[in-house]
Each structure stands twice: as C-alpha cells, then as structure tokens.
Structure 1
Amino acid sequence: MTDLIEVRVSNLVGAPLDWAVAMAEGFKSDPERLTNVWLNEEDPTSISIRGVEMGYGFRPSSNWEHGGPLIEKHQAGLSHDRYLSGGPCGCSAGPLNSTWLSGPTPLIAFCRALVHAKLGPVVRVPKELIPCPA
C-alpha cells in the first residue's frame, strides 16, 4: 500500500496533480505498473503512479491531448488573468457550474479546479509523487 499525504489542491502541480485528476475521473491506481493509461487494453481505467512520476501515461495538466478532452467533457471555462498566480500572467479555469481555480497555465488551472470540484480542497496523493524539498 502506498503512503498518502494530504495536499491542498491549489498547490498541486505535475505528477501529483495528474494523479489527482485521474482519481477524480474514476481511474484506479496501480503503483506497480508502467503502462500508458490510454494504451492499456486490459484495463483502460488504470493509471500508473510510477509512470506518471517518470513522465509516462496520463498527463492532463501538461498534455493537451489528455487535458483538452476533459475541458470539453466538463464544459469548462478558461481565462488568462493578469496578476494572478503570484506573477504577471496566470490563468483561471473551472468546470461548468463549479469553483474556478488559478494556475500558471490553462491546463494546470483547469485540472486544479476539476479536482477541487470532485474531491474537495484537500486531497491525499501518494507520498512518492511529492518532490523532496531541496
């Protein structure tokens, strides 16, 4: 069993965010597999924790081929906002009739908002996906 750690959705990025999106979308987690979620014919709802960590598999927060269909599926709105996300340019997004969240890119903003809408403001993600502090 993988140890889980609580993280605020508004702070998620990279593999932890992708994993949380997969969980929000109903995928099952299998930490021992390195398969691409889209090519796994045996179980198309599985996602590899290690695969995501290593850049394989489901990456909706950085790959438009994965995140774009989710934006359409959830009828999400996107907005580029000046002075959002702690910098001169950011984005905000959210599924239809849901809270919008911000992020440095449209995909990250949307993915955060989707996870927040389905799982709440704090989620538990596999500890192995959280980068070690420098």
Structure 2
Amino acid sequence: MSRVNVSTLEGAVLDWAVAKCQNLPIKYDPMGFGSGSEAGFWVWDDDPKGYITKIGRGYSPSTNWQLGGPIADAQNISLISPSDGSTTCSAYVKGGECTQNGNTLLIAAMRAYVCSVLGEEIDLPEKAFH
C-alpha cells in the first residue's frame, strides 16, 4: 500500500477512490489480462445482472457528470468556479470541513467527497497505479 494525499488524486486513481467511498464491488484484473488496457481495477458485481465496468473508463465520476453530478448533489458538495484569471476550481463538503481543489469542478468535487469519507490521506494498492 502507498499512502497519498487526496488532493493529488486524479484520473482512474480518483475514480477508484470514489468507488471505494460508494462501497462498490472493486476487483483488480478480474478477467486475468495481467497487463494492457483491460487490466486494472473494475467495478465488478458477481451477480448475474450486476454492474461491470472498468474504473477510469466506464466508471469515471471525475470526468462524467452523469456519474459525478449525482454524488455531488447527494453529498451537498458546493462547487466554486475559477475566478480572477485562476484556472483552479474548488469544492467543499460539511461546511468547508473538506475543501479540495482541481483543474475541473468534477475533480474538485470528487476529491472533496473522498476527503469527507476517507480523510485527507488514503492508502492505494501499489500494484495497480504505477
């Protein structure tokens, strides 16, 4: 495991952390590819009609408003667009207790969500994210 600050999470790593917060069934390389684009983490529900999708592609709440928007809404995450020539977006949860920044509103929102659920630092499995 590797301990990282939530404020540095992006891409599939941030999406993995969001899936973890949502208690989704996460499996590493469930089809045994070993390497390549299909290896990595998946949301993988073993139920015959369960949800199965690649984290960072099919499951990407940090880039897809259809996935991240409902999370931000349900968690009452406040979004702040860049101002005064800045390109940094901000988001906060719990009255400002968990404030995070990002290059986009969704990245900031998902970081704030992860921070509110898991704390400012989380453990990442090393084998999956290098």
1:82 matched to 2:76: no
Q: Does the 8 A contact of 1:30 with 1:47 survive in 2?
A: no
Task: Tell me the residue number matched to 1:59.
Answer: 60
- Between the two proteins, what is the percent identity of the paired residues? 32
The structure with the largest alpha-carbon Rg is 2
CA distance in 2, matches of 1:126, 1:25: 18
Q: Secondary structure at the match of 1:81?
A: coil
Task: Tell me the residue number matched to 1:125.
Answer: 124
1:71 matched to 2:67: no
Q: Runs of 5+ in structure 2 lacking a partner? A: 31-37
CA distance in 2, matches of 1:126, 1:102: 24
Task: Tell me the residue number matched to 1:109.
Answer: 108
CA distance in 1, matches of 2:92, 2:49: 26
Task: Show structure 1 runs of 4+ deviating over 4 A.
Answer: 34-37, 43-48
Q: Does the 8 A contact of 1:77 with 1:95 survive in 2?
A: yes
Task: Tell me the residue number matched to 2:35.
Answer: none
1:3-44 deviations in whole A, cap 9, x for unaligned? x3211100000011000011111123211336974x958278
- Residues 36 and 127 of structure 1: is their aligned pair in 2 closer, same or farther, counting only changes over 3 Å? closer
TM-score, normalised via structure 1 length: 0.74
TM-score, normalised via structure 2 length: 0.76
CA distance in 2, matches of 1:106, 1:58: 17
Q: Secondary structure at the match of 1:67?
A: helix
Matches within 5 A, 1:24-35: 24-33=21-30
